[in-house]
């Protein structure tokens, strides 16, 4: 009997090992998988029709969005890759490469702004959804481009200072400034000053929470205030820089306790998210355990989206650790199920994100964006086609020569 039990136990152990992530190489496909998830969440959010994709992506597994994932994982990749680069090159060389990358993304951002400015004048193209921001709950819209004639100098200023443009790509402006600051962050990490870096970043974040100010005239400051969002970027960069040390720590008894605590926090906040007061979500999918007034007070005070409430940041980190752990343990089935789709998107996340705004424009020519109209089958098909087109373009690198990644 004991031999049978031992054989069964050994079989289960072998199965667990067979499922685990064991790919060697410089690139961690689990990070690409997670970047793909963040990208899908953002594309679904910006293609504003209510589908099955929303049920699984709209703050359903926590009080998080794809935007935070995009910023954190961008910082993570910069920290992880540049630690290796700085072993072979000086900081000045690496920093110059980051400045050139920021300049290229800035140029692309200008092209996006100007292209939609010009598309407005074509009578057969309806550019409303990319030139306006609409509150789907009230139906109120705000123009993101000037409604009155402007003199030439004004046009130069508002374009060059990124004061206008589609709300779907505002985060690119934030990313440009974070890239410009990255050599400073990398220099501190190279000298081992990780705690001063995190401390100053946290202090800036805390001051912004108490005294919110806009330090840039750019449009992105409304949705992604630099002084708040820099913290999760720095946090991601530090984690990427010390990835090997963090993984080693996670295997120690204190590390296992820390990982277990983060998973527990992720589960608790996933439960909290099931009590969301999102008016577009079918009531049958929500739990209604926490009274709406109490949830809203908690959400807007501690988990605010634009201002990055502290609970939201805690949820971001705990959920990412949980997903990374899940991908490590169950890599083979999850990779077979969704890796073929998510990994190409994640590996070309910036490229795909830049292109997605034009896909949003194309979809808006065919359907009316409306989150109240819950035509589940049609809307799910719309999201699937939009994501499929982006996947094909990323897979076959359409126009990759001109679009940065």
Confidence of residue 2 (pLDDT cuts 50, 70, 90): low
Q: What is the pTM of this model?
A: 0.92
pLDDT score recorded for residue 5: 47
| Exposure letters 302-315 (e unless 16+ CB within 10 A, then b) | ebbbebbbebbbbb
Q: Phi then psi for 134, rounded to 5 degrees?
A: -120, 130
Residues facing 49 on adjacent strands: 370
d(CA 123, CA 126) in angstroms, rounded, equals 7
Cα-based torsion angle of the residue sequence 42, 172, 224, 149 in order, rounded to the nearest 10 degrees = -110
d(CA 213, CA 197) in angstroms, rounded, equals 21
Query: Are the CB atoms for 226 and 216 separated by under 8 Å?
Result: yes
Give the pLDDT confidence of 214-246 residue by residue, as tens digits. Answer: 888 899 999 999 999 999 999 999 999 999 999
Place of tokens 């293609």: 47
User: What is the CB neighbour count within 10 angstroms for residue 207?
Assistant: 13
Pick from 390, 305, 243, 317: nearest CA to 69 = 317
d(CA 51, CA 58) in angstroms, rounded, equals 11
The token pair that represents 27 in the structure block: 């690139």
User: What mean pLDDT, rounded, does the chain reach?
Assistant: 90
Give the pLDDT confidence of 125-138 residue by residue, as tens digits. Answer: 999 999 999 988 88
Confidence of residue 19 (pLDDT cuts 50, 70, 90): confident
d(CA 349, CA 339) in angstroms, rounded, equals 14
Residues facing 134 on adjacent strands: 141
**Which residues make Cβ contacts (< 8 Å) with residue 59, sequence separation at least 6?**
65, 273, 276, 278
The CA-to-CA distance between both ends of the chain, in Å, stands at: 58
What phi-psi label fits residue 282: left (phi over 0), alpha (psi between -120 and 50 degrees) or beta?
beta
pLDDT score recorded for residue 3: 55
The domain spans of the chain are: 25-395
Where would I find the beta strands (DSSP E) of 241-290? none
pLDDT score recorded for residue 14: 54
Place of tokens 């609970």: 311
Confidence of residue 148 (pLDDT cuts 50, 70, 90): confident
**Which residues make Cβ contacts (< 8 Å) with residue 207, sequence separation at least 6?**
227
What phi-psi label fits residue 51: left (phi over 0), alpha (psi between -120 and 50 degrees) or beta?
beta
Average pLDDT over every residue of 88-104: 94
d(CA 379, CA 50) in angstroms, rounded, equals 6
Classified as helix, coil or strand, 193 is coil
């Amino acid at each position: 009997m004991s031999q049978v039990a031992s054989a069964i136990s050994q079989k289960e152990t072998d199965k667990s090992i067979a499922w685990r992530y064991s790919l060697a190489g410089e690139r961690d496909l689990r990070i690409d998988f997670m970047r793909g998830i963040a990208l899908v969440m953002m594309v679904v959010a910006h293609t504003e029709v209510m589908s099955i994709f929303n049920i699984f992506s709209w703050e359903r597994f926590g009080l998080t969005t794809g935007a935070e994932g995009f910023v954190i994982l961008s910082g993570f990749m910069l920290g992880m890759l540049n630690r290796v680069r700085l072993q072979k090159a000086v900081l000045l060389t690496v920093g110059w490469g980051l400045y050139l990358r920021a300049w290229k993304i800035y140029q692309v951002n200008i092209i996006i702004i100007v292209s939609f400015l010009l598309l407005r004048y074509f009578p057969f193209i309806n550019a409303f959804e990319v030139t306006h921001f609409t509150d789907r709950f009230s139906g109120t819209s705000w123009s993101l481009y000037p409604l009155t004639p402007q003199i030439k100098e004004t046009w130069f200023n508002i374009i060059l200072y990124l004061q206008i443009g589609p709300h779907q790509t505002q985060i690119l402006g934030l990313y440009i400034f974070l890239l410009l600051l990255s050599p400073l962050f990398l220099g501190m990490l190279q000298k081992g000053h990780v705690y001063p870096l995190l401390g100053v970043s946290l202090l800036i974040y805390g001051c912004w929470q108490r005294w919110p100010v806009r330090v840039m005239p750019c449009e992105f400051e409304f949705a992604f205030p630099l002084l708040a969002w820099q913290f999760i970027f720095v946090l991601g960069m530090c984690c990427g820089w010390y990835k090997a040390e963090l993984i080693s720590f996670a295997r120690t008894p204190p590390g296992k306790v820390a990982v277990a605590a983060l998973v527990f926090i992720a589960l608790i906040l996933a439960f909290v998210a099931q009590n969301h007061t999102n008016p577009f979500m079918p009531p049958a999918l929500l739990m209604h355990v926490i009274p709406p007034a109490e949830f809203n007070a908690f959400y807007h005070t501690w988990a605010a989206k634009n201002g990055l409430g502290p609970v939201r940041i805690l949820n971001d980190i705990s959920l990412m650790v949980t997903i990374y752990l899940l991908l490590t343990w169950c890599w083979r089935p999850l990779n077979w199920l969704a890796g073929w789709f998510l990994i190409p998107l994640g590996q070309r996340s910036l490229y795909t994100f830049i292109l997605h705004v034009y896909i949003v424009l194309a979809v808006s020519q065919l359907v009316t964006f409306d989150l109240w109209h819950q035509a589940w089958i049609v809307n799910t098909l719309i999201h699937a086609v939009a994501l499929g087109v982006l996947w094909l373009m990323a897979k076959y690198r359409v126009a990759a020569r001109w679009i940065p990644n």
